[in-house]
């Protein structure tokens, strides 16, 4: 990921990153993963989505920032979420190249970012306000994982209405 290629943060950037890390609540993040994990999987879901969801441990109590990002950053868990919430989207998820895992690393990196972007569009369609959403780089580069937790919590609240 691009986050691994960046220079070490210093000065103000380092302080900002430390403040963001301090705001990350591993237990709250784990609750979002448990919520996703407990959603009933629709029929005919492609295997890449099931594989992504099975990587998340059942009844996880807490996660650190790296673990949380690792579970979500390839975007496949978001495809699973979309299929669970709107099962009529499964055919789109099956046929679109974006949701297929590419053996070529360069293509897969692009697809991962596209998947996250499609999920953000989905959040808007479902009714999650943009102020509660996150930006692709906040997840992909692990710079705003608190906002990812907020977005998933807000999605859960919207669905309960």
Domain boundaries, the chain: 2-160
Q: How confident is the model at residue 23 (pLDDT cuts 50, 70, 90)?
A: confident
pLDDT tens digit string along 111-161? 999 999 999 999 999 999 999 999 999 999 898 999 999 999 999 999 997
Q: 116 Cβ partners below 8 Å, 6+ apart?
A: 73, 75, 78, 136, 139, 140
> Are residues 26 and 43 in contact, defined by beta-carbon separation less than 8 angstroms?
no
pLDDT tens digit string along 83-100? 999 999 999 999 999 999
> Are residues 36 and 152 in contact, defined by beta-carbon separation less than 8 angstroms?
yes
Dist. CA 96–CA 60, nearest whole Å:
31
Q: 101 Cβ partners below 8 Å, 6+ apart?
A: 48, 76, 108, 111
Dist. CA 155–CA 142, nearest whole Å:
20
pLDDT value at position 152? 98
CATH superfamily of 2-160: Calponin-like domain (1.10.418.10)
Global confidence as pTM: 0.89
């Amino acid at each position: 990921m691009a986050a691994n290629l960046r220079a070490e943060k210093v000065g103000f950037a380092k302080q900002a990153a430390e403040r963001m890390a301090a705001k990350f609540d591993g237990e709250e993040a784990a609750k979002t993963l448990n919520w996703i994990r407990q959603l009933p999987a629709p029929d005919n879901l492609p295997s890449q989505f099931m594989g992504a969801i099975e990587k998340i441990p059942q009844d996880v109590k807490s996660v650190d920032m790296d673990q949380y990002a690792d579970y979500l950053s390839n975007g496949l868990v978001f495809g699973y979420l979309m299929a669970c919430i709107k099962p009529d989207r499964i055919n789109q998820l099956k046929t679109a190249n974006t949701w297929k895992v590419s053996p070529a690393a360069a293509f897969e990196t692009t697809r991962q970012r596209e998947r996250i972007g499609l999920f953000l569009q989905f959040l808007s369609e479902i009714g999650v306000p943009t102020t509660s959403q996150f930006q692709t780089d906040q997840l992909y580069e692990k710079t705003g994982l608190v906002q990812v937790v907020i977005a998933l919590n807000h999605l859960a609240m919207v669905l309960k209405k």
